[in-house]
Amino acid sequence: QVLRFICRGEAPFRPAMLSSGAAACLRPRVKAPCWARALQVQHRVEPPNGVIPTELFARVAGTPAVVRQAVDVGTKITLSDVTQAAFRIRGHVSQTSFVESNRMSEVLGAKVFFKREYEHRTGSFKERGAANVLMQLTEAQRSRGVCAASAGNHALAVAYHGQQLGIPVSVVMPVVAPITKVQNCRKFGANVIVEGEHLLESRQVAAQLEEERDLLYINGYDDPGIIAGQGTVALEMLNQVQDLDAVVVPVGGGGLIAGMALAIKTLNPSIRVVGVESERCASWQAALRAGTPVPFEMQGQSTLADGLAVTTVGGNAFALAKDLIDEVVSVSESSIALAVLRLLEEERAVVEGGGATGVAGFLDGKLDSLKGKRVGIVLCGGNIDTPVLGRVIERGLAADGRIHRFTARVSDRPGGIANLTGILAAAGASVKDILHERASLKEDIASVAITVFLETRDSEHAATVQDRLRERGVDFTWHSGGAGRTS
């Protein structure tokens, strides 16, 4: 109930709650009420009217602003930091919904609950950490301002809450950053500098700003205040849904899963914490193999989960969570595209690639051990450009066996193409596009090569279409979908 008070300010506080659970919450792996573990307070306080007094929260939640010091890797982060963050950002960051999805539960084979972090004003969980850090600044630091390097979500969160708190914000974004995110940062009043071919170069520019203007640089995934703020996702989830068996969390720089793992494993160690990252940027698994954060070589490849494309995980995040996370899996690009498509079709939810990796873990067969369980999946963001969304949908349809391409040789006389499209129509396939080429067939001037893009219901339907083409004697090569057969 105290967790409920922290998150929403609803529940009354009774002194008997603390006295009964105080000793039990200090013993590891002993089930105690969530509020007892979260606060770890051993004082008997008789509040007026049974409501928790501000003075007590001042002791356990650190309500006054504190001076932020330079942070070294290895800084100790505790559950107290997460509960302080939850109290601190209440009223500034909205609680997001966490509800069961009957449709996706059937698709994934588990009782699935989605934590919809894309409901935030800026479209991602990043608001939690950003607000937590900004609200702890001294007046002197607030007047000087802060800076950040980000390709999107972190920049948006810092810009928005900086505007709300009256703090000057400068963000450095790489040239590959989506135009809409750059524009939205400017709408939030940030000084936006687009410089750097990639995020590392943008970070170097931000470092110059930090030194020249005495700004505070806010790391988007490894600052202790950021990690503590992201951990509030777990506090809300545990308060909203009871008896979870596992929580699945996307992994990029590691700040989100580190904060959540800390909260979950302290409050209920029996809940499994599973991370999911793109196989094209599996930096957490690289760190596990090396025993320390090391760069993951992406070899020039991009990923649909661009928000998770952090080649080296944070040192604080890794030190905190490496022994708390039960499992980390990597997923394919096709499964990410399919996950975005499934969420759009079944949930009517627009989720970016990085936010959909938890669902991708099931679709890719990497989370079969969680089937039949009660699983919470964090949909961590929904900031995806419309053109990118269109391409992702197309890839998702292809991965789902619904978009195909084949090349056929037909007669270059009137009715040749009509005969081919008639066969496809009779088979129930929908033609999306046709490319007509004569030059590639050098041996037979009476024939023409036709490349057809078509939509089918599923892979089985595509196989039926191939059978119909074969039965009618069509000379074709199937390039995508189905079994890739040539006839």
pLDDT tens, per residue, the chain with 487 residues: 555 555 554 443 333 333 333 333 333 333 333 433 344 333 323 333 333 333 333 333 333 333 333 345 556 899 999 999 999 999 999 999 999 999 999 999 999 999 999 999 999 999 999 999 999 999 999 999 999 999 889 999 999 999 999 999 999 998 878 888 899 999 999 999 999 887 778 889 999 999 999 999 999 999 999 999 999 999 999 999 999 999 999 999 999 999 999 999 999 999 999 999 999 999 999 999 999 999 998 887 888 888 888 889 999 999 999 999 999 999 999 999 999 999 999 999 999 999 999 999 999 999 999 999 999 999 999 998 888 888 888 888 888 889 999 999 888 888 889 999 999 999 999 999 998 876 665 566 778 889 999 999 988 999 999 999 999 999 999 986 533 334 4
Q: Are strands 98-100 and 475-480 parallel, antiparallel or unpaired?
A: unpaired
Q: Which residues touch 165 (CB under 8 Å, ≥6 apart)?
A: 134, 135, 142
Query: Residue 153 is which amino acid?
Result: N
pLDDT at 152: 87
- Residue whose C-alpha is closest to residue 381's, from 358, 403, 414: 358
Burial code (b: 16+ CB inside 10 Å, e: under 16) for 339-354 equals bbbbbbebbebbbbbb
pLDDT at 405: 92
Q: Is 44 helix (H, G, I), strand (E, B) or coil?
A: coil
pLDDT at 41: 33
**d(C-alpha 303, C-alpha 226), whole Å:** 24
Phi and psi at residue 288, to the nearest 5°: -65, -40
**Within 13 A of 461's CA, how many CA atoms are on the CB side?**
17
Q: What six digits make up the tokens of 217?
A: 């640089």
pLDDT at 49: 37
**d(C-alpha 346, C-alpha 175), whole Å:** 34
Distances (CA, A) of 78 to 40, 47, 402, 425: 11, 26, 48, 63
pLDDT at 200: 77
- pTM over cut 0.85: no
How many other CB atoms are found less than 10 A from the CB of residue 260? 31
Q: Is 182 helix (H, G, I), strand (E, B) or coil?
A: helix
Look at the chain and count its residues.
487
pLDDT at 274: 98
Tokens 């959540």 locate to: 260
Provide the phi-psi class of 290: left if phi over 0, else alpha when psi is between -120 and 50, else beta.
Answer: alpha
- Residue whose C-alpha is closest to residue 61's, from 117, 11, 10, 7: 7
Query: Residue 60 is which amino acid?
Result: V
